[in-house]
Structure 1
């Protein structure tokens, strides 16, 4: 090794050539000369160097020659060379090695001709650059043997196209003989073209690769067009060679009219001039090739129109960038193809080597690019008028194909298109920021919504912009995450940085990572969304429960507005009875507020949190003519701030409706309690008036019916409706994962008690009947009070008459005179005459009450709610009303039939 270090570079290079070819120094003279020329030149390739692909090609050559041990040795040496860092231009060395050892079976004269070509093309200046065809970014890793059989009178140069069967399709193509070894140059260039075509099949483009435009290619069509007249030219037709068509078609590939092939605007396609006389097969092939130019124009027109349209949005601009990237790769292929038209040196001097391209070869070369351009053109058509997430959905839909190449292309474009969406999403779920200037994201914001309605109305899902590869559940979680962050900052005034709430990394992924992330929706993407969702929602619920006592306020609603605090409600009703019996227009809210505070201090309500008690207040409803205080009185509970998001105005109006219903039902219970007290207290007093026994018995029976009805209604409302619904609400709140779950559970709770308390529109008939029953209870109270007043007044007069009579007898006088006794009898008779009227009034009241109850039971039995049907059974447990009402019997039978169809 030490000896090698002391040798000159030329000696080392000559030894390297001998070792590679396995020949003597005299036999490798031509290879050595060529190597010196190449290494001594200032060769600067125009494409990005890919050391990995060249090394892989060398290893494949070893394997192809059944030299696996040498391949392994080369791999190890290459790895050590990379770690050493001694050589700066490793790619150049590897490419030189590959070029020298491409085929050891070639005749020496072929290599000599190859070196001679470069010797002629090189100027005398030692630093000048020799002619070298541009090689594509990605070298093919497995192209076939480059040595083909030669024909007599000339040689046939092989190329990468031969691997696709071009030689078998067209037969040997004559190569120009104007320069020795010219076929080798052409073959090497064709191999470069195949590499360029394969490179365009890759989705990524080299940023340093040149992207020639339509104006960047040399105009050789006009210079090389044939000018010989044929026999048919006199008749107005011109015959042209296939080479001229190839030159024209290369310009058509770029959307530029050629000399013979031009765009036909009426038919919207490229057509050959009708004056051109060519065979039908060539005309058909030309038409098929010209379709590539039409597809190019379609894609290019779309990008030119949309690239400068700022309203198209970031997603749209990313789509245009993806199309530009694909067109750039397409232009690289055209550049390599165009270089085959005529081989020129660096000064532009024609060295006489003509192109071996044919139309049939171009068909094969452009097969894959045509498929890619068709896909792009179809995307352009389908994406017209779409932007944002809708555009991403369109691109994603084209990825559902069995063609792996097309799927890879669409996946690459989807990565670029979805990258802005991923940036929007990260800013939203990690910072709560929505920078969507052109309305491309599927989360929309309404800046006109005030803070108190932030959770409900400010942020919504824009379903038209929701990408098809994101599920509705994922979109809902994304919406909740950002909404929770903004709710914490703007409504709860929580200053915790978003990074402490969701510590996940906020860096945006690359387009490739974005495509991979969105293809793994149930894995990585779902994991990121779930992590941010659970952390943010848990933090928000903790803030609401600890700082704003959400659960305590929910329990306070049950205790006060839903009459769950029994001792407080009873004592409040006792204190309010004198006030509420007055006309509604004579009530003052401050007086009622003072009574409310007294009731709080006298009951267990005093032990509630001051935060709860200060929100409890009195409200007077709108007064109608004839209303009393019972009709307009209502409790109220003030809510504001974050808890107003759960207890909205609509929810509070529902609470007030339920309170008024429960308050009225509670009043009926209170009235019947007073009726029972009056009956028990007056039973002994009126025992001395036997003429009232029938009327009093009738009062007792009617009162018992009303007490039974109200007790069953109170049991149904209190236990089956309120307690069961509250327990279900509490369980849902304890298990809630986010604020939306709590709001939804609370709304379901209110809807349930509204419907089961007969306050919804479907139960309007039932509610009217129930209110009529309540009115009859009040009427009965008034009638009984009038009866007892009259009876007690009569009893008082009788007792006074007897007392006066005893007093006069004690004084030794006559007890009463005949006139006084006659007057007493007349008064008693008048009272007794009034008793039938009282009995008749009670009978009418009883009949009307029972009729309303029977109608109420019929409505209950025909209800679709089973709990209401069971309530009808309890209200008529002894079938008292069933025996009186035929319709009720029919309803009961129909209900049993529905419940037991087999009967």
Structure 2
């Protein structure tokens, strides 16, 4: 046989019920179920007097049975029990013992205690864990139904049992008005319950003398009856009878549930509950009833919202959580109404009617429903504010409504916010820890486009829905959340990295309750920020490590600078030397495989051969679209193939920018190459043509014009190489080294390209400058052609003259005449014809010089009007000796204005 210690609590409780009642186990089934419900509902007294009243009632019962010794023994044992911490719910156990000892079949003119026990059981939740935010703690309950003569003073009712508070604990009226003291009134409660929110309450002690007053005697001649409710009276002047207050109370209880009563009905045109004007009723009762009926209107408003959205799946998980929170509040409200209805039923069963005093009066209902009305008003206003919202936008609306100075209303909104934001927290955890986004109804602030292909995953697949970002999450936090999940998906889908998420960052915590969600979102600068930062830094760091180590992102970035931005000087120069014979031909005669072979030769002959094979295999030749009259110089371009993860940084748009910059730099480099050839030709031919003094003037013009062009191109090359490319590259490299995520690298790279395009005059704003610069380049090519023509003619003439002199010398050596008269005349005629072409060459050079200087002057004038200071300083360097200023008066005011702006900036 099992010992007492081995028996379960239920077996012990059933044995206790049998021992107290003296009945068998089958006969105490009802008492046993009630005892289990009472003990399991986590009852605890709210004030010290509750336990005292139960003990006093037990002693009175013992005295009535003439068991004075037992009453004294009970008093002594109860005093000792109070000093011990063995039992936590002494009041509940004493109440259970008292309830079990009373026989419900015993006739009495009092309402038995078990009736109140049943009433309390109706108000209790079936499952104490069904609403975890609340705590089931009742107010003080009456121990018996008093005599009818004392009903007005001692009757009280049970509360809903869910985080109860007294009426005056918050937002309640001040001291009870004298008009309310004529009848039964609520008693303030001394201390508030556990839990941070306002509960649906019902005042429990009806002593008009206040909380500190001793209970009135339940019987005896000294008990003074309370005033009766309003009786059916006759109006002056007609024979109609006024409606009794009890009938109005019954109607009001129906209206509280949104049900039309006999006299109070919903008026659809005015959208409110009204009493028919034909019903005979005094103004005070009519006004009081109207004020009470507002509670039903508020209930209908909330119920209509929940009914219309509860079954709407498109409303989403956040919306369903909001409806669930409203349902939970309405459930507590219904528990309050069930207590009121039970009390009304008890009074009807005991014969309380319009002719006898009742504890349910309009004034009492007005006071008792004050806090529930405030609560429903808050919920109704919240429902209005949340109309048409869903997802994160709905959470923002709830959060905005919580900014109130009332701590209890704030606690209510915080509780609702916890339920509403819980789905968002689940979305967020799955996104930042697993990269999963199952947002069927588009509630989360991260959006996904399934039509985007893998190569555009980082740029286009994921984005922020700004309207769905909850107001309690900052834009920076939302951006980090987006980057975390995007990085995880980028690693899995693009980088094909199979590292488990647990090794990248701490494991997820996906079991947060709504209370945890509330605490997390209310501490945005603490716990929430630390969670987001930890996931962000770990994920971003791992992604950058994978890109740099496995895919050589930084090496590819440097390769772009060396080859497409002409940073590898020896390679570019040698490539240009090798390509010159090919590129001077017509563009239509070029073959890409020939140019590719020349490229490979240039790589093997320069320091480019020491680059990584992974980089060199991506370097290739590209021929642009051919236009009529184009040469190889116009269509040749280098290309760099990118694919895989690095294509996320070097997108097609970026590569097109690189191609534009390369073409510009390649043309500028070609101008430098041409001027170098011009200078070589002048240096080599200067001594050869000394014997032709008639060319001194035209050669001098060539030297002067070439010097101007060399100065211009050198200054442009210095500006492009150092002020544009090197400075921008240094800034880019510093940002890349300090980048915390891939977006920082992409943004820095985009800024780098935009800066280069802008300062190289390739953007839309500098189109006129670029046209002038290209015109300068064209004049350089024209000058090369003109000088080549001049030197070709001069060298041919020089060769003919040398041949004539050699032939003349040979004839003299043979003893003959050097030349005949006819030969000499022919030679002189030919020399004269050559001399006649010199003025034409001079005029051509003068015309070329005039066009060149005009284009340069216009270029300088445009530079001076630029907003970019670097371009303004370029104009100063191009005309540092004011050569062009002296020739063109239009440059003078512009130069002065430029200097004024420069001095003001200093």
Q: Compute the TM-score of the two structures, normalised by the length of structure 1.
A: 0.83
**1:274 deviation in Å?**
2.0
Q: What is residue 527 of structure 1 aligned with on the other side?
A: 530
Alignment counterpart, residue 310 of structure 1, candidates 313, 320, 341: 313
Matches within 5 A, 1:304-453: 304-343=307-346, 355-453=358-456
* 3-state SS in 2 of match to 1:642: helix
* 3-state SS in 2 of match to 1:881: helix
**1:173 deviation in Å?**
3.2
Report whether the alignment pairs 1:268 with 2:258.
no
Cα deviation digits, residues 85-136 of structure 1 (max 9, x gap) = xxxx867315459999xxxxxxxxxxxxx9799843699xx99988643165
Alignment counterpart, residue 285 of structure 1, candidates 285, 288, 298: 288
Report whether the alignment pairs 1:120 with 2:123.
no
Work out the CA distance in 2 between the residues paired with 1:474 and 1:98. 59
* 3-state SS in 2 of match to 1:567: helix
Work out the CA distance in 1 between the residues paired with 2:400 and 2:450. 33
**1:545 deviation in Å?**
0.4
What stretches of structure 2 of length at least 5 have no aligned partner?
6-19, 56-76, 125-134, 158-165, 202-228
Work out the CA distance in 2 between the residues paired with 1:236 and 1:433. 76
* 3-state SS in 1 of match to 2:626: coil
Work out the CA distance in 2 between the residues paired with 1:691 and 1:443. 81
Report whether the alignment pairs 1:92 with 2:102.
no
Q: Cα–Cα, structure 1 residues 776 and 52, in superposed 2: closer, same or farther, change >3 Å? A: same
Work out the CA distance in 1 between the residues paired with 2:151 and 2:872. 105
Report whether the alignment pairs 1:650 with 2:653.
yes
Q: What is residue 518 of structure 2 aligned with on the other side?
A: 515
Q: Cα–Cα, structure 1 residues 316 and 744, in superposed 2: closer, same or farther, change >3 Å? A: same
Q: How many residues align?
A: 807
What stretches of structure 1 of length at least 5 have no aligned partner?
6-30, 83-88, 101-113, 175-186, 207-225
Work out the CA distance in 2 between the residues paired with 1:799 and 1:664. 40
**1:698 deviation in Å?**
1.0
Work out the CA distance in 2 between the residues paired with 1:200 and 1:250. 28
Work out the CA distance in 2 between the residues paired with 1:565 and 1:75. 93
Deviates more, 1:266-275 or 1:517-526: 266-275
Q: What is residue 54 of structure 1 aligned with on the other side?
A: 44
Matches within 5 A, 1:73-222: 77-78=84-85, 80-81=86-87, 92-93=92-93, 95=95, 119-120=106-107, 132-134=118-120, 156-157=153-154, 159=156, 168-173=178-183, 202=197
**1:508 deviation in Å?**
3.2
Alignment counterpart, residue 44 of structure 1, candidates 34, 38, 55: 34
Work out the CA distance in 1 between the residues paired with 2:585 and 2:872. 38
Q: Cα–Cα, structure 1 residues 801 and 201, in superposed 2: closer, same or farther, change >3 Å? A: closer
Cα deviation digits, residues 212-239 of structure 1 (max 9, x gap) = xxxxxxxxxxxxxx99986559968441
Cα deviation digits, residues 366-417 of structure 1 (max 9, x gap) = 1111111111111111212111111111111100111112111111111101
Work out the CA distance in 2 between the residues paired with 1:421 and 1:618. 52
Work out the CA distance in 2 between the residues paired with 1:57 and 1:857. 92
Deviates more, 1:47-56 or 1:482-491: 47-56
Work out the CA distance in 2 between the residues paired with 1:402 and 1:829. 108
Q: What is residue 127 of structure 2 aligned with on the other side?
A: none
Is the Cα–Cα contact under 8 Å of residues 805 and 816 in structure 1 kept in the other structure?
yes
* 3-state SS in 2 of match to 1:636: strand
* 3-state SS in 1 of match to 2:890: helix
Is the Cα–Cα contact under 8 Å of residues 292 and 370 in structure 1 kept in the other structure?
yes
Work out the CA distance in 2 between the residues paired with 1:238 and 1:722. 100
Work out the CA distance in 2 between the residues paired with 1:370 and 1:46. 34
Work out the CA distance in 2 between the residues paired with 1:471 and 1:515. 16
* 3-state SS in 2 of match to 1:532: helix
Is the Cα–Cα contact under 8 Å of residues 270 and 287 in structure 1 kept in the other structure?
yes
Cα deviation digits, residues 616-675 of structure 1 (max 9, x gap) = 000000000000000000000000000000000000000000000000000000000000
Q: What is residue 254 of structure 2 aligned with on the other side?
A: 251
Work out the CA distance in 2 between the residues paired with 1:269 and 1:154. 34
* 3-state SS in 2 of match to 1:900: helix
Deviates more, 1:329-338 or 1:164-173: 164-173
Q: Compute the TM-score of the two structures, normalised by the length of structure 2.
A: 0.82
* 3-state SS in 2 of match to 1:522: coil
Work out the CA distance in 2 between the residues paired with 1:306 and 1:162. 32
Q: What is residue 729 of structure 1 aligned with on the other side?
A: 732
Work out the CA distance in 2 between the residues paired with 1:397 and 1:699. 79
Work out the CA distance in 2 between the residues paired with 1:525 and 1:902. 46
Alignment counterpart, residue 831 of structure 1, candidates 829, 834, 840: 834
* 3-state SS in 2 of match to 1:504: coil
Work out the CA distance in 2 between the residues paired with 1:395 and 1:265. 29
Is the Cα–Cα contact under 8 Å of residues 686 and 795 in structure 1 kept in the other structure?
yes
Q: What is residue 617 of structure 1 aligned with on the other side?
A: 620
Q: Cα–Cα, structure 1 residues 527 and 739, in superposed 2: closer, same or farther, change >3 Å? A: same
* 3-state SS in 2 of match to 1:518: helix
Q: Cα–Cα, structure 1 residues 630 and 139, in superposed 2: closer, same or farther, change >3 Å? A: closer
